[in-house]
Amino acid sequence: MATPASRPLSQTTCGSLLQELQKIWDEIGENDSERDKMLLQLEQECLDIYKRKVEQTRKYKADLHKVLAETEAEFANLVSSLGEHKSFSREKGMLKEQISAMKPVLDELKAKKEDRVKELSEIQLQINYISSEITGSGHSENGVDQLLNWCDLSARMVGKMKSRLEDLQTEKSLRLQKVDSYLKSIHELSVSMSISFKETVAGVHPSLCTPGEGRSKSISNETLAKLTGVIYSLKQEKSLRLQKLQSLGSMLVELWNLMDMPSEEQQKFSHVVRLTSLSVDDVNGKDCLSQNVIDQTEMEAERLNIMKASKLKELVMKRQDMLEEMYRGVHMEVDSETSRGTLISLIESGSVDISDLLASMDAQIARAKEEALSRKEILDKLEKWRFASTEENWLEDYERDDNRFTPVRGAHKNLKRAEKARILVSKIPSMVESLTAKVKAWEAEKGIPFLYDKEPVLKTLEEYNVRRQEREEEKRRAREQKRLQEQLTTEKEAIFGSKPSIKRPLGPSNNNGNSQAGTPMGRRVATPARIGMSSGKERRESVRVAAMTPINFVALAKDDSATKG
């Protein structure tokens, strides 16, 4: 609704104005030509105003078309960059209506673009930060500036950037773990060798010794490479120190063994000796490979080397005593005086290294142990045979004793010993046979005779076999002689009658015919094995002897002498 002030102006028209102009002209007295001229001028001015207005309106229309086209283009660009699948079809209608219809959609896309740019900017910042940590370069904002000019702001790009960020974060995590692992290894190596851990890692990167204070540990390629180099150099140093201490430890053990050092002295450097059996990876004790430990061990080794020279002669003699004792223990020949004289001459002349001499004697002792071990089985069998031979000799003496059955103190013990001795003696032939086979096999393997207290064992066994056969032959002849004597006595008694004998108490009858002599027969004769030896052959021999004896044979004198005996 128009206001009162504007109503008269709106009611004024061109016709009324023209009438008022005509009235004024009449009052002035203008002529027609001037009036026509002025009216023509007014018409031209009105036409110019209309033209300008039309031109301005046409330009405005063109501007609206341009705005609409730009709006559509911007819409298409936003949809494309955001990866949206929206479309906008131009509807029929006024230009302003079309522009107004597109404005909300365009504003929505612009807001979405801003959010997407912000999200991608934050992701890019993190990517740039982690990338700079990995490469070791300074942080840069150029990536964010470039992001604002990117055409691809789609969700696919967001996912791609997030995936890249996750990859970088994973790599950063792995690098941090690797750095921590390297630092742990450096710390262990530093502790074992008593090296300053902080000074070592500070030389790699300051952030490694003071990771706080608003900065994280360096994970750059350069830092990892330097840490790897430090670990390698520390491991090399650790290996060299361990080798040195192992060599010194072995030297200490050798010197202790040479000089029979007391355990109290050895205990001071037991931690060094323990290193000799460990590998590089097993050595992690605090200060166990420090330079101080190496220096102390070197000083101790030097001190023991000085002491060694004065004790080596005593050690050599102890080795010789041990060697001789081993030889005597297995009944081997040893020339003690000559060996000791040779050793003393070598030591006093200084022509031989005492350590080499001790090593040589240790080798001799080792060979002596092997020799003793190879002789052990034979020596055991030999001792059993010697014991059995001793029991055999005792048994022979015991059986020759006519008073062995006399009831005296200890007689029952002798009877038991005799029974055991007979069992043992019965095994002697198999003992000798087995021992002979063992000795021959040993001599065939070694190529030398088996000596026992300087005597060849085979020769001793052969001599024993010969003596045993001789004793057996003597026993056989004695039995034969006794059998003949008993047979002659029986024949004489058959011819001349038996002599009256002293009446004896009733008891078990004796079938051997020895009761006529009035003396108990020997135990060997009464043994079933001994009795069994008078076989049918002996009976045939007795018949033959009886047949050869003349009928008028008189042997009274012999019989009397036998009776007196």
Q: What would the pLDDT profile of 463-504 be if each residue is shown by its tens digit?
A: 888 888 888 888 888 888 988 888 888 888 887 765 555 444
- Considering the chain, what is the average pLDDT of its residues? 77
Query: Averaging pLDDT over each range in 245-254, 276-285, 338-347, 498-507, which range is the top one?
Result: 245-254
Read off the tokens for 458.
């085979």
Res. 528: pLDDT tops 50: no
Give the residue among 85, 84, 156 at the shortest CA–CA distance from 120.
156
Phi, psi at 154, each rounded to 5°: -75, 165
Chain centroid, CA 5 distance in Å: 113
Strand partners, 451: 456
pLDDT at residue 509 in the model: 38
For the chain, the maximum distance between any two Cα atoms, rounded to a whole number of angstroms, is 238
Quick check: 535 pLDDT over 60?
no
Give me the pLDDT at residue 507, please. 39
Structure tokens given for 89? 């079809």
Question: What pLDDT is stored for residue 295 in this prediction?
Answer: 92
Task: Give helix 354-400 / helix 457-496 axis angle, nearest 10°.
Answer: 0
- Taking only the tens place, the pLDDT of each residue in 64-123 is 888 888 888 878 887 877 777 666 555 666 878 777 777 888 888 888 888 888 888 899
φ, ψ dihedrals at 107, nearest 5°: -65, -40
pLDDT at position 532: 32
Number of Cβ atoms within 10 Å of the Cβ of 183: 21
How would DSSP label each residue in 129-144?
Answer: HHHHHHHTPPP-SHHH
Q: What pTM value is reported for the model?
A: 0.47
Q: What percent of the chain has pLDDT over 90?
A: 12
Query: Does 252 or 407 have the greater pLDDT score?
Result: 252
Spell out the residues 6+ positions from residue 312 whose beta carbon is closer than 8 angstroms to its own. Answer: 258, 347, 354, 355, 358
Q: Cβ distance 382 to 452 under 8 Å? A: yes
> What is the rounded distance in angstroms from the CA atom of residue 407 to the CA atom of residue 73?
147
Rounded alpha-carbon distances, angstroms, from residue 496 to 127, 544, 552, 559: 145, 20, 11, 11
Strand, helix or coil at 260? Answer: coil
Out of 158-167, 253-262, 384-393, give the one with best mean pLDDT.
158-167
Query: Under a CB-based contact definition with an 8 Å cutoff, are residues 372 and 326 in contact?
Result: yes
Q: Would you state the pLDDT for residue 174?
A: 93
Joined tokens for residue 536: 């049918």
* Rg, Å, the chain Cα set: 67
Residue 225 has pLDDT above 70, yes or no: yes
Weakest mean pLDDT among 3-7, 25-29, 328-332, 533-537? 533-537
CB atoms within 10 A of CB 323: 19
Checking if the pLDDT of 540 tops 50, the result is no
Q: How confident is the model at residue 537 (pLDDT cuts 50, 70, 90)?
A: very low
Distance CA 440, CA 421 (A): 28
pLDDT at 92 (0 to 100): 65
Show the tokens assigned to 420.
């055991």
pLDDT for residue 5 is more than 60: no
Distance CA 200, CA 229 (A): 12
Q: State the pairing for strand pair 455-456/451-452.
A: antiparallel
Residue 10 has pLDDT above 80, yes or no: no
Of 494 and 47, more confident:
47
pLDDT in tens, 517-527: 333 333 333 33
Return d(Cα 483, Cα 314) in angstroms, integer. 71
Residue found under tokens 């027609």:
32
Query: What is d(CA 160, CA 165) in angstroms, rounded to the nearest whole number?
Result: 9
The pLDDT tens digits of the residues spanning 170-223 come to 999 999 999 999 999 999 888 888 888 888 888 888 888 775 555 678 888 888
In order, the DSSP letters of 385-401 are HHHHHHHHHHHHHHHH-
| C-alpha to C-alpha distance for 353 and 359, rounded to whole angstroms | 10
511 vs 324: which has the higher pLDDT: 324
Choose the most confident range, by mean pLDDT, from 137-141, 149-153, 434-438, 553-557. Answer: 434-438
Task: Determine the average pLDDT of the residues in 56-71.
Answer: 87
Residue 395 has a pLDDT of 82
Q: Which carries the bigger pLDDT value, residue 226 or residue 88?
A: 226
Q: Which of 44-48, 75-79, 286-290, 405-409 has the lowest mean pLDDT?
A: 405-409
Percent of the chain predicted with pLDDT > 70? 79
Closest CA to 255 of 210, 302, 305, 211: 305
Exposure pattern of 479-505 as b/e (b: 16+ CB <10 Å)? beebbeebbbbebbeeeeeeeeeeeee
Mean pLDDT of 264-290: 86
Weakest-pLDDT range from 225-239, 339-353, 414-428, 533-547: 533-547
Residues 6+ apart with CB under 8 A from 427: 388
Which pLDDT score, from 0 to 100, does residue 85 have?
67
User: Which pLDDT band, with edges at 50, 70 and 90, does 373 fall under?
Assistant: confident
Q: Would you state the structure tokens that stand for residue 160, as one six-digit string?
A: 């791609």
**pLDDT grade for 158, boundaries at 50, 70 and 90:** confident
Evaluate if residue 415 carries a pLDDT over 70: yes
